[in-house]
Structures are given as structure tokens and as C-alpha cells.
Amino acid sequence: MKNIFITGCCGYIGSHTSVELLNEGYEVIGLDNFSNSKPRVLDAIYEITGKKIKFYEGDMLDKNLLKKIFTENKIDAVIDFAAFKSVGDSVNMPIEYYINNVSSVLTLLNVMKEQDVKKIIFSSSATVYGESKIIPITEKCSIGGTTNPYGTSKLFVEKILQDLYKADNTWGICIFRYFNPVGAHQSGLIGEEPNGVPANLMPFISKVATKELKELKVFGNDYNTKDGTGVRDYIHIVDLAKAHVKGIEKLKKDSSGMFIYNLGTGKGYSVLEMINAFEKVNNVKINYKIVERRPGDVAICYADASLAKKELGWSALLGLENMCKDAYNFTQKNINN
Ligand code: NAD
Ligand code: UFG
């Protein structure tokens, strides 16, 4: 199993995963429509690895293009990252979100079935757990209760994949539920580049540090947590990317099966702890003020990541220091891009 097709290969997680796969000797065939990324990411991947992705520009909803890609390449497995990911936008644009995040996966699975390629890793999210009563969250915790179309689109695709496996158990399907990916590649050449003002904590803190933004708003300090602010499981993007290599190895070894893993560190940090760590590691001051809670936020969300350790032999190795250092390094290097 050598040739891996990556959808959304130029995005945040897709670019880092491409790097890890290329470094491990895999061939990467990539697709992206640049709806949330830039072509220069391809050059950055080449600069880091010395290897090129066989790249196709286009949309995952384009069945003919997918057929062409599968015909021109001997694809062994697919990693599907292509999706829209803004929780806020999804509330205002549910149709666009369900088309891009659900219909596109159906198009992909249909072509995979036609071409008899039956191994896929799908990017899901901890958001499928809603407000879990059990912390740390295990894969056995109930899913559902999502509060926005983005989260529901992930839930729908998980269900579609379960049904597919029930209908044909020769598929090898791996669902990864990511917690909070942060940081960037150590080179500072690839990282998270949200359009406009970042909605997520870490890129926002980084832009306050570089003075591109004036002040961080901390959404609530009256949660039932250690210091009243929200607690999350932040995971370094390079650790997360490496898990996909392990996922591919698992699909190679077990050939078929339905596998679901949480990808997190198993540690929860509060917003104030993140600010403090960032200030200390990077020797900068982060201006912030406490404001109202953000609607839809849960108090605490962190993973029990022991199943991935047991079955994939993967666990996160990089701590808060690397997350803060690499996030800031990337933001500093990319201020005017
Ligand atoms: P991203 O927006 O950085 O990357 C997605 C990439 O897919 C972009 O390059 C975009 O241009 C491309 N794309 C989108 N729709 C496409 C389409 N129809 N056809 C072709 N290309 C398309 O997002 P990311 O952070 O790398 O996330 C990757 C996946 O992981 C997504 O499915 C996302 O929902 C999921 N996820 C992300 C997070 C997170 O916090 N980053 C958390 C949980 C799950
Ligand atoms: N926060 C602030 N100020 C900000 C941004 C965030 O205080 O400007 C707080 C939030 O209230 C929360 C924590 O920082 O307590 C983390 O918030 P993020 O927006 O960075 O991340 P979320 O946990 O809300 O959501 C992320 C992704 C979702 C994904 C979810 C679960 O954005 O797509 O993790 O994996 F579904």
C-alpha cells in the first residue's frame, strides 16, 4: 500500500499529513480546490520534504474529475480532509455546508466503490460528542446532540460510513475524531491560515502576539472548571498528522474493518492556561479581556486517547511548549501573506 489519495491536501491538516506520508516513503496524490488554502502550500511541502505531490486542482463534488484521478493513478487508500470547517458559517450557510461536507463524501465513496478502492480515513471531530457527560471522552461515549450544521455534517458522514461497512464488510474504514489541533510545522512553512479574523483560540492568540489583533476575548470565566474558563484538549498538528500514517498502516495490516479513534493528548488546558503558556514560551504579552460565554461552547472537552495508543501504537509526543512556540513561529513568518 503505497499510493495515498488525499483530498484537501493543501489545507491545515492535509498539508502536514502529506509531509509525514512523503517522509515515510508514500506517494501522495492530492486534490484541492483552494477554497480555504493557497497553491504555495505545494511549494512549501516540496521545500520541507524534497518530494512532490501529484496534484489535481478541482472539486471533490466533480465526479468526472475523481474518476480521472482514480483512472490515472493506482490508488491504495484515501484520506478525506476536504470540507468546510467554520462552525459559525455553517449556521448561516447550512445548504453549502451539507453539500460540501456530506454530498462530496458520497461522490467520493461512490467513485471509490466503482474503482474498487475500499480503504478510507475520514476526518471527524470531537464535536460529534456534543456536551459529553463523561470526561475524559472515550470512543464509547454517545454521539449526537450537535449544535450546528458543521458538527451535524460530521455526524451524518460517520453514519453513512457505518451503513456502508454494514452493507459491505470488505471496506477498511477509519474515523478519526480530532480534538483541538494547534501549532504548525517546525519549519514555519506550513500552518493554520484561517481566512479573516480567526475563530479559534490559538491562531487568535498568535495574532495578538504579533499585534495584528489588539486583544483576545476570553469567552466566559464562570464555567465549572479549574479557573472558570473553557477546557480543551489541544494537540500539536505534527502529532495529529503522524496519526494518519499509523491509520494507513492499520488499514494495510487489518485490510478490512471499522475503526474509530479519538485523537487528542488526554490532557485538558483552560483558556487562561493557554494564554499563560504562550506568554511564557514566547516571552510576549497577550492582552485579553473576559467577555460573555460564546453560544454553543461546552465547559470541558478532552479525550481518553488510550485506544489509539493500544491499537495504532500512536500517542501525542509534543507538549504545550512546542504547540505555542510553533504556532507563534508560523504566524510571525507569515504576517503579510
Ligand atoms: P482546512 O480548511 O485547512 O483544509 C481543508 C482543505 O480542503 C482546504 O485546503 C480546502 O481548500 C479544501 N476543500 C474544501 N472543500 C473542498 C472540495 N469540495 N473539493 C476540494 N477541496 C476542498 O481544514 P483542516 O483544519 O485542515 O481540516 C481538515 C478536515 O479535518 C476537515 O474535514 C475538518 O472538518 C476536519 N476537522 C478539523 C478540525 C480543526 O480544528 N482544524 C477539527 C476537527 C475536524
Ligand atoms: N476561546 C476564547 N476566545 C476566542 C476563541 C476561543 O476564549 O477568541 C475559547 C473557547 O471559548 C473555548 C476554547 O477557547 O473554550 C477553544 O475554542 P476554539 O474555538 O479554539 O475551539 P473549539 O473547542 O470551540 O472547537 C474546535 C474546532 C471545532 C471542533 C472542536 C472539537 O473549531 O471545529 O474543536 O474538536 F469541532
Q: Could you give the residue ranges of the DSSP H alpha helices within the chain?
A: 12-23, 40-49, 63-72, 87-92, 94-98, 104-114, 149-167, 201-209, 237-254, 271-282, 306-312, 320-333
Across the chain, mean pLDDT equals: 97
The rounded distance, in Å, linking the Cα atoms of 155 and 264 is 19
**Residue 204 cell numbers, joined:** 487568535
Q: Residue 74 and residue 81: Cα distance in Å, rounded?
A: 20
Pocket of ligand 1 (CB under 6 A): 7-8, 10-14, 31-37, 59-61, 81-83, 85, 100, 104, 123, 125, 178, 181
**Whose Cα sits closest to atom 21 in ligand 1?**
32
Q: Which ligand is nearest to the CA of 131?
A: 2
- For residues 20 and 48, is the Cβ–Cβ distance under 8 A? no
Closest residue by Cα to atom 36, ligand 2, is 127
Mean pLDDT across the stretch 259-268?
98
**pLDDT of 76-125, one tens digit each?**
999 999 999 999 899 999 999 999 999 999 999 999 999 999 999 999 99
Task: Determine the average pLDDT of the residues in 188-212.
Answer: 93
In which band, very low, low, confident or very high, does the pLDDT at 336 lie, cut at 50, 70 and 90? low
Residues forming a β-bridge with 137: 303
In Å, how far are 235, 240, 316, 322, 324 from 319, measured between CA atoms?
8, 12, 8, 6, 9
Give the tens place of pLDDT for each residue, 42-81: 999 999 999 999 999 999 999 999 999 999 999 999 999 9
Minimum-distance ligand to the CA of 272? 2
CA distance 261 to 311: 9
Beta-bridge mates of residue 120: 78, 173
Nearest to 266 by CA among 244, 239, 226, 294: 239
Average pLDDT over residues 284-301: 95
- Angle, CA 11 vertex, CA 98 and CA 82 arms, to 5°: 30
Residue among 31, 101, 123, 177 whose CB has most ligand 1 atoms within 8 A, to mutate: 123
pLDDT at 152: 97
Ligand 2 atom at minimal distance to the Cα of residue 179: 35
The pLDDT value given to residue 335: 84
**In the predicted structure, residue 337 carries a pLDDT above the cut 80:** no
Sign of the CA dihedral with 212 first, then 186, 188, and 262 last:
negative
| 124: enclosing H helix or E strand | strand 119-125
**Which are the contacts of 45, defined by CB distance < 8 A and separation ≥ 6?**
15, 18, 19, 22, 51, 52, 53, 190
pLDDT digit string, tens, across residues 217-262:
999 999 999 999 999 999 999 999 999 999 999 999 998 999 999 9
Q: How many CA atoms lie within 13 Å of 32's alpha carbon, on the beta-carbon side?
A: 26
Provide the pairing of β-strand 231-232 with 269-270.
Answer: antiparallel
Ligand 2 pocket: which of 90, 219, 233 to mutate (most atoms within 8 A of CB): 219
List % helix, strand, coil for the chain (3-state, nearest 5): 40, 20, 40
The CA distance from 299 to 226, in Å, is 11
Q: CA 42, CA 190: separation in Å to the nearest integer?
A: 10
Cis amide bond preceding 194, omega within 30: no
Cα–ligand 2 centroid distance for 70 (angstroms): 36
Confidence of residue 281 (pLDDT cuts 50, 70, 90): very high
Ligand 2: does its nearest atom lie under 6 Å from the Cβ of 21? Answer: no
Residues labelled catalytic = 150
Please give the DSSP secondary-structure letter assigned to residue 321: H
Residue 169 CB: number of other CB atoms within 10 A?
Answer: 12
User: 85 CB under 6 A from ligand 2?
Assistant: yes
Percent of the chain with pLDDT over 90: 95
- pLDDT given at position 327: 98
- Report how far residue 68's alpha carbon sits from residue 76's, in angstroms, rounded to the nearest whole number: 15
Residue 248's alpha-carbon distances to 24, 165, 210, in angstroms, are 11, 17, 37
What pLDDT does residue 195 have?
77
Atom from ligand 2 closest to the CA of residue 229: 15
Ligand 1 probe mutation, 18, 31, 36, most atoms within 8 A of CB: 36
Check residue 250 and give its pLDDT: 98
Strands 180-182 and 234-236, by their bridges, are parallel
For residue range 175-187, what is the model confidence (pLDDT) as tens digits?
999 999 999 999 9
Q: Is 217 in the pocket of ligand 2 (CB under 6 A)?
A: yes
Average pLDDT over every residue of 120-142: 96
The number of angstroms, rounded, from the C-alpha of 330 to the middle of its chain's C-alpha atoms is 17
Ligand 1 centroid to 132 CA: how many Å? Answer: 24
Q: Residue 276: name the closest of 321, 232, 311 by CA.
A: 321
